[in-house]
């Protein structure tokens, strides 16, 4: 499974794209999807980004978490122990940061997603429902703050 966090810089401000699931109307999230048989994770990430948002990127950064990442220890957000046991402990999630240079609005597949929002970190963190995704977003922000200048992209 891939999780892709689209990020852009608008007027020097970092923004995160979150999308709302069609089948779970309260659930805002990043771009996610399955890796097809014989598909490389990077190709799956690019495909899912295109399918779910219409965006393509020249800059796709694999985000490698340390071994403690998988522990769902974020202090806020909903947790679903059954989901966590079934999916997170049996499915490898490969996370990417996608730098988006296109300033046009995303085009969603309405069967999968019903709404989108470019927003700052705090707004994205508040909207995302699941604690494990909040943790991914928080760790990505910390990494970007220390390692990546969007104005250079």
CATH code for the domain in which residue 32 is found: 3.90.79.10
Looking up tokens 């071994």 gives 67
Q: pLDDT value at position 101?
A: 93
Token representation of residue 110: 């309405």
Digit-coded pLDDT (tens) for 135-153 = 889 999 999 999 888 765 4
Label residue 10 by pLDDT band (50, 70, 90). confident
Q: Where in the sequence is the domain holding 123, given as residue range(s)? A: 2-152
Residue % of the chain over a pLDDT of 70: 80
Task: Look up the pTM and report it.
Answer: 0.86
d(CA 102, CA 147): 22
For residue 134, with 0-12 CB atoms within 10 Å meaning exposed, 13-18 middle and 19 or more buried, which class applies? buried
| Total of domains in the chain | 1
């Amino acid at each position: 499974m891939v999780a892709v966090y689209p990020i852009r810089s608008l007027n020097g401000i970092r923004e995160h794209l979150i999308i709302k699931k069609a089948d779970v109307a309260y659930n805002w999230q990043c771009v996610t999807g399955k890796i097809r048989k014989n598909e490389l994770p990077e190709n799956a990430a690019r495909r899912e980004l295109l399918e779910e948002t219409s965006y393509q990127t020249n800059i796709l950064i694999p985000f490698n978490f340390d071994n403690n990442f998988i522990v769902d220890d974020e202090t806020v957000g909903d947790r679903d122990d059954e989901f966590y046991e079934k999916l997170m402990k049996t499915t490898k999630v490969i996370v990417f940061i996608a730098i988006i240079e296109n300033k046009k609005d995303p085009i969603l597949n309405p069967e999968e997603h019903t709404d989108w929002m470019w927003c700052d970190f705090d707004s994205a963190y508040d909207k995302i429902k699941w604690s494990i995704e909040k943790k991914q977003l928080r760790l990505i922000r910390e990494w970007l703050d220390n390692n990546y200048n969007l104005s250079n992209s």
